[in-house]
Structure 1
């Protein structure tokens, strides 16, 4: 395997760099360093292919450097560090480390960049707490070609290791922005965006609502739903009709239904 960078080896868990990497398993460490950690061959390769700001690739000396990344130009421009099993275990959030992880700088995408780009179909999350739900929503948004995902305050950290794993790499396929919804939503509305929220009390079916125009789908906290402050800014509230006896859908399932309904309509299905 051809690599331009010299490989460094670190064997001790007491090494200062290892301690810094381990801090990235916690939000406080990620916020302090402005970086996050991804783990596993698929995720690291996906980050490299997407042009994410990968700084360091850490791999198991026992297993050797990952093969098959020769054609990825970025793989030859990052730092490669071979480490002991103990170091990998200290920096891993999983019970059985795969043998490779990467340190990535967090992107600085803000409200201005979001509003300046395409915002035809966007998912907005208001206080979604579960990492698995957030990851699934990002995957669904990616699947239908949505333009972005917005994380309002109180939403689980995108760079939580569990969230990252549940995105299955989709976090690298579309912009994901953290924002104050009280500031962002009025700006979006001024640009002609229709704000659609979900509510169990809504009388209007999502299937009877035109989702072909620029639309932001707003989903709320698993237990409380969309906050009153955010709901007050919406143009229309919709419900997903159910013929069975289930009281409601999981927020990730609801987001997926709405996204695919919007996609169906846009493909000429309405």
Structure 2
């Protein structure tokens, strides 16, 4: 039982809430039974340490079983230790440290993908996490992060994915122009989601969304720069029928990804 909240081991885990520590160790923090359960089920090889309070494992006994099945040892901790490790105000009794597992841009576009999300300077952790979750839900082949997009292993991004982080290949740090060149070389059209674009419904009717597609999503406040916009093969906008000024980025991205998924499966 780990009991000292000030021990070096506990402090090392807590530091993973900071980007510098994540970069130095190439690891990140997982919190809660949902995220930890998905890691155990899909990427147990990435788990470095798994910590839990006895009461949490009484409530989520399946975690103990799954951890034993994949050979991951659980370290029991007190509530005070768990709180010291966690990034959330009210942790759920389970925390893990996992290795980061990015995929190269070459591998993403070299595997004949049909649907990819490219995020250029998406800065809000909740938005990025939701886009990754939506990409997982629609069966997208990958999410590619370019520009100054927020760190996908930020605790808030990880929580917002609710485990989808372990289902979808993730590439990060690429130059947008290079990523788009690789997308085209892989047979995908690149469509910018932008208010300056053409009507999405017309593109749907013309069958344009049935082609392999990489959707390009920009910054929440500014959208895509003129340079980024010009790199795309085309641009589409979502119609707004009510009085809303605009849509939240993650909501718009989810609709665009689902439109492609519907077209691919029709």
Q: Which of the residues 18, 28, 43 maps onto 1:26?
A: 18
The answer on 1:54 being equivalent to 2:47 is: yes
Instruction: Give the C-alpha shift of residue 64 in structure 1.
Output: 4.9
Tell whether the 8 Å contact from 2:112 to 2:187 is kept in structure 1 after alignment: no
Q: Which moved more, 1:214-223 or 1:241-250?
A: 241-250
Task: Tell me how far apart the structure 1 counterparts of residues 161 and 55 of structure 2 sit (CA, whole Å).
Answer: 28
- Mapping for residues 1-270 of structure 1, pairs under 5 Å: 9-52=1-44, 53-61=46-54, 63-64=56-57, 66-69=60-63, 71-72=65-66, 76-178=70-172, 179-202=174-197, 204-209=198-203, 210-268=208-266
Q: Which runs of 5 or more residues in structure 2 are unaligned? A: none
1:26-72 CA distance string (max 9 Å, x none) = 11111111100111111111111012411211011455575224653
Tell whether the 8 Å contact from 1:205 to 1:241 is kept in structure 2 after alignment: yes
The residue aligned with 1:4 is none
Q: Which moved more, 1:68-77 or 1:229-238?
A: 68-77
When the two chains are superposed, the root-mean-square deviation of aligned CA atoms in Å is 1.8
Task: Tell me how far apart the structure 1 counterparts of residues 152 and 114 of structure 2 sit (CA, whole Å).
Answer: 22
Task: Tell me how far apart the structure 2 counterparts of residues 38 and 170 of structure 1 sit (CA, whole Å).
Answer: 12
SS of equivalent residue, structure 2 residue 49: strand
Instruction: Give the C-alpha shift of residue 139 in structure 1.
Output: 1.5
Tell whether the 8 Å contact from 2:192 to 2:234 is kept in structure 1 after alignment: yes
**Residues 181/261 of structure 1: CA separation in 2 closer, same or farther (3 Å cut):** same
Task: Tell me how far apart the structure 2 counterparts of residues 84 and 69 of structure 1 sit (CA, whole Å).
Answer: 17
Q: Which moved more, 1:235-244 or 1:71-80?
A: 71-80
Q: Which runs of 5 or more residues in structure 1 are unaligned? A: 1-8
Tell whether the 8 Å contact from 1:50 to 1:173 is kept in structure 2 after alignment: yes
Tell whether the 8 Å contact from 1:25 to 1:37 is kept in structure 2 after alignment: yes
Aligned length: 259
1 or 2, which has the higher helix percentage? 2
Instruction: Give the C-alpha shift of residue 102 in structure 1.
Output: 0.7
Tell whether the 8 Å contact from 2:133 to 2:161 is kept in structure 1 after alignment: yes
SS of equivalent residue, structure 2 residue 196: coil
Superposed structure 1 runs of 4+ greater than 3 Å apart: 61-66, 73-76
Instruction: Give the C-alpha shift of residue 76 in structure 1.
Output: 4.7
Tell whether the 8 Å contact from 1:69 to 1:75 is kept in structure 2 after alignment: no
Task: Tell me how far apart the structure 1 counterparts of residues 43 and 68 of structure 2 sit (CA, whole Å).
Answer: 7
Tell whether the 8 Å contact from 2:57 to 2:63 is kept in structure 1 after alignment: no
